Amino acid sequence: MNVDALVTAHHEQWARLDALSKQRRLSGAEADELLDLYERVSTHLSQVRSTAPDPALVRHLSMLLTRARLSLAGRHASTWSGVLTFFRSTFPAGLYDLRRWWVSTLVASVVLAALVTAWTLAHPELYTSQLSAEQIRAYVDTDFAGYYSEFAHHEFATQVWVNNAWVAAQCIAFGALGLPVLYVLWQNVVNLGVVAALMVSHDRASLFFGLILPHGLLELTAVFVAGGAGLRLFWSWVDPGPLSRSASFARTGRQVVGIALGLVVVLLVSGLIEGFVTPSGLPTAARIAIGLVAWGAFLVYVFVVGRRAHRAGATGDVAGHVAGDAAPVVG
């Protein structure tokens, strides 16, 4: 690349970007022009970095882009508008974009839990070797149900929310390593399968499902979403595709962090159901129906709202001018 020719061809655009960045007020047309020039100059900088890394020119263009980025950031929509955009577009689009990962994680976990339950039913020594007959009887008769009414509703809901958010956070935080995510998921699935076998073998299946399903459908789905997102983060650097490993990891990392933030709200809803609906005096069918409605609403949110946002161009990543500049991989 001829650096002098590049400067001659584009110095007016660079000067215009600098001038717009310094203006305190912009019209709608000027704001659009600023964003367009920002993207153009970002491309120029990437070209210079990848083919003719002239230090002075790289520094100059980086300074222009930094000033323009600050100008753009200063003109962002209000906080509430950003929150609405996140839940209307960014979060559901991210869930939809990673649907294959978390749906596969969900299906595999449910199958594994069923297998663990079947195995434990066929091998009761798995729990009889750890618990006495009195302990088993106390658990299936009173302790399992008592867990949901031991604390005040609001205290229990908060405790559940924090615990589930911690499990989800572990799945995402360990995503870069891969295997720890599988370990966290394995622990949760095995515990669920063993408890299910213990209750079923003592004719408490209706009690078990009546207390687990109201909140568990949404709660476990959120955990599996976190697990799938964590595994996708791991895969982003194992198989980065056309991007460099660092660029692929950064892109997926931003997407996964957005999903983690959204899951805080999803887990809050499941925590409220577990704290107020699960231990309530409502008929079992009514409690399960509430859980099904909440779970169904989440699926509609992903596969209707999320698909619409995804088709409109959202991926769960931040906007390009916020993400920063990335040089393409030189083939």
Region 164-182: mean pLDDT is 84
Token duo for residue 157: 């809901």
The residue to which tokens 């009887």 are assigned: 137
Which H or E run contains 116? helix 99-122
For the chain, the C-alpha Rg in angstroms (whole number) is 26
- b/e 288-303 (16+ beta carbons within 10 angstroms → b): bebbeebbeebeebbe
Output the pTM of the full model.
0.71
Determine contact, residues 171/184, Cβ cutoff 8 Å.
Answer: yes
Inform me whether the pLDDT recorded for 95 exceeds 90. yes
298: Cα within 13 Å, side-chain hemisphere: 23
Q: How many helices and strands, by DSSP H and E, does the chain display? A: 16, 0
List pLDDT tens digits, range 237-286. 899 888 888 888 988 999 998 999 899 999 999 999 988 999 888 999 99
User: pLDDT band at residue 330, thresholds of 50, 70 and 90?
Assistant: very low
CA distances from 148 to 66, 161, 221, 264, 292 (A): 53, 13, 20, 21, 19
Please tell me the predicted confidence (pLDDT) of residue 65. 86
Please tell me the predicted confidence (pLDDT) of residue 1. 58
What whole-number distance in Å separates Cα of residue 63 and Cα of residue 54?
14
Region 210-225: mean pLDDT is 94
What whole-number distance in Å separates Cα of residue 44 and Cα of residue 30?
21
- From 103-112, 135-144, 171-180, 207-216, the region with the lowest mean pLDDT: 171-180
For all residues of the chain together, what is the average pLDDT?
A: 86
- From 133-137, 301-305, 324-328, the region with the lowest mean pLDDT: 324-328
CA distances from 179 to 32, 117, 253 (A): 45, 23, 17
User: pLDDT band at residue 327, thresholds of 50, 70 and 90?
Assistant: very low
* Ordered DSSP codes for 53-103: --HHHHHHHHHHHHHHHHHHHHTPPPHHHHHHHIIIIIHHHHHHHTHHHHH
- From 36-50, 76-90, 93-107, 165-179, the region with the lowest mean pLDDT: 76-90
Inform me whether the pLDDT recorded for 320 exceeds 90. no
Please tell me the predicted confidence (pLDDT) of residue 214. 95
* Ordered DSSP codes for 238-279: HS-TTS-HHHHHHHHHHHHHHHHHHHHHHHHHHHHIIIIITT
Please tell me the predicted confidence (pLDDT) of residue 321. 44
Please tell me the predicted confidence (pLDDT) of residue 77. 47
Determine contact, residues 227/102, Cβ cutoff 8 Å.
Answer: yes
